[in-house]
Chains A and B, each alone.
Chain A
């Protein structure tokens, strides 16, 4: 299938909380952009989380909901003043509902250069067994 490439967008989308709970950290939280694509036996999720690495990223799977949480700790050293700011720096959070066909035991996650790569192998429907019929 043709992939339609999204054009480069500079804007970060801030999270909007639907219930009245707040995040414990007092900083902005963004929704990371994600690409999800599916092959015959896996689902791959790629999310842009610049500023976070593998130690500051948490991925939890509860019932059918996969939640990514990435914390970004970044401070400008010393006496620098901000001349011009176009983007905010903050944490990332996003949740997805997974279908039942994911093999939960074998989910793999890697973070490299600010990109989270989640590999969700599909556990297919019970593999069909071919039963040979002999004369007897």
Chain B
């Protein structure tokens, strides 16, 4: 029918422009979704303890460095690719490799001496107990 050859309306052109600009910005920015970089972290907490989990498959534990200062945790390390034999050819290369460093702010100050980290199935879990001095104190209200 004739519809196919209708020239696009102004709105369609604006939409298309918007999408092209989005695509352009996405291609240049390295942090989508506002993540602070690699690796992606989830922070869980309750009143006494915070837990950070991050997915780091295939890491050698000697290559990871975790440090805690006050209420900031810094995780750095590197992912090393598997050694290839002579004459190996890649079909696909999607997994990333290289060094990474990330600092993240915790919901409260933590006690650096009691921080523990475990690495299981490629997931690094860091448990950070709240610093005693930071715990909220209940204040009694007396009638005067």
Contact = CB atoms under 8 A, between A and B. Distances in A.
Q: Is chain A's interface secondary structure helix, strand, loop, or mixed overall? A: loop
A48 B98 CA distance: 15
Given A34-B95, A50-B122, A80-B45, A39 B57 contact: no
Given A9-B96, A50-B55, A83 B46 contact: no
Contact of B41 (A6, A40, A46, A84): A84
B121 A50 contact: yes
Contact of A1 (B33, B90, B123): B90
Of the four ranges (under 10, 10 to 19, 20 to 34, 35 or more), the interface on chain B belongs to 35 or more
Interface in B93-144: 93-98, 100, 107, 119, 121-123
Given A5-B98, A46-B95, A83 B90 contact: no
B95 A33 contact: yes
Interface string B24-54: 0000000011011111111111100111000
5 contacts: A3-B90, A35-B81, A51-B122, A79-B46, A112-B58
Interface of B: 32-33, 35-46, 49-51, 55-59, 79, 81-82, 84-85, 87-98, 100, 107, 119, 121-123
Interface of A: 1, 3-12, 33-40, 43, 46, 48-53, 74, 76, 78-87, 89, 112-115
